[in-house]
Amino acid sequence: MWRQLLLYFRTHSYHADNCQAKDALQNENENEEDIKTVQQLFKPMGSERTEMRKRQMAATQETPGTAQAQHSVGNRGPNACCFCWCCCCSCSCLTVRNQEEERARRTSHELQAEGIPNCEESPAPTLEEVNAWAQSFDKLMLTPAGRNAFREFLRTEFSEENMLFWMACEELKQESNKSVIEEKARLIYEDYISILSPKEVSLDSRVREVINRNMLEPSQHTFDDAQLQIYTLMHRDSYPRFMNSAIYKDLLRSLSEKSIEA
């Protein structure tokens, strides 16, 4: 009987050990599968990084035309919409401004074609006339030769628009036809008064308010206050420098030499 009991306990112990071994083997297999699964999960991430590097290298080796096209698309131009990231739309405020600037350039060209020539026709100035220019600004502006010489000097100072505006106002005063007056007044305003014009003259707020009221019913005297202000500006600011400029001194010396030779 004792032998049977001993055999029974040994058999159960063997089965228990065998089950534990099987469980351990199964757990080991499950751990290996978990490790493989984790490796498979992390392996694609490395592949994705590799693919990303390849794409970046391919992007740097793209053709110049493609790179330029992508650069133009990636960087929004001056007309790109300022409220969204869409590059195919145009900002309305900038579009209006561009249209106004284009209109100002067009009207400037029309005004030059219709009215003011590039240079006034005048005989060559005499030595007496050139000497008289030094006496007063009024005498300089009285003759076409004096205005041409002064205008040439203003061009070197990038302020020729002052003379052009003054001359346009003088031409407006000579008109009598109402429709022509209205058209020329509009052109003068767009070319020299509008803040969008590249040839805008410097006027104070009071004079601008007067002009805006006068433009409701344009006349020959719509710009009288502005013309006087620009005339005073040229007299006080530009005229003294003109008298000391090489343009005036060279002209005076040339006429003096011709007078001595004669």
pTM of structure: 0.56
Q: What CA–CA distance (Å, rounded) separates 169 from 160?
A: 15
B/e letters for 58-67, b = 16+ CB within 10 Å, e = fewer, are eeeeeeeeee
pLDDT-derived band of residue 31, with 50, 70 and 90 as boundaries? Answer: low
Given a cut of 60, is residue 87 above it in pLDDT?
A: no
Given a cut of 50, is residue 73 above it in pLDDT?
A: no
How much of the chain exceeds pLDDT 90, in percent? 51
Dihedral (C-alpha) 43, 44, 50, 53: value to the nearest 10 degrees? Answer: -140
Given a cut of 50, is residue 246 above it in pLDDT?
A: yes
Bigger pLDDT: 145 or 3?
Answer: 145
pLDDT-derived band of residue 170, with 50, 70 and 90 as boundaries? Answer: very high
- With H, G, I as helix, E, B as strand and everything else as coil, classify residue 176: coil
Using one digit for the tens of pLDDT, what is the confidence trace for 179-225? 999 999 999 999 999 999 999 999 999 999 999 999 999 999 999 99
Query: Stretch 225-238: mean pLDDT, rounded?
Result: 97
Question: Measuring CA to CA, which residue among 143, 114, 138, 113 is closest to residue 126?
Answer: 143
Given a cut of 80, is residue 136 above it in pLDDT?
A: yes
Contact 107, 185 (CB under 8 A): no
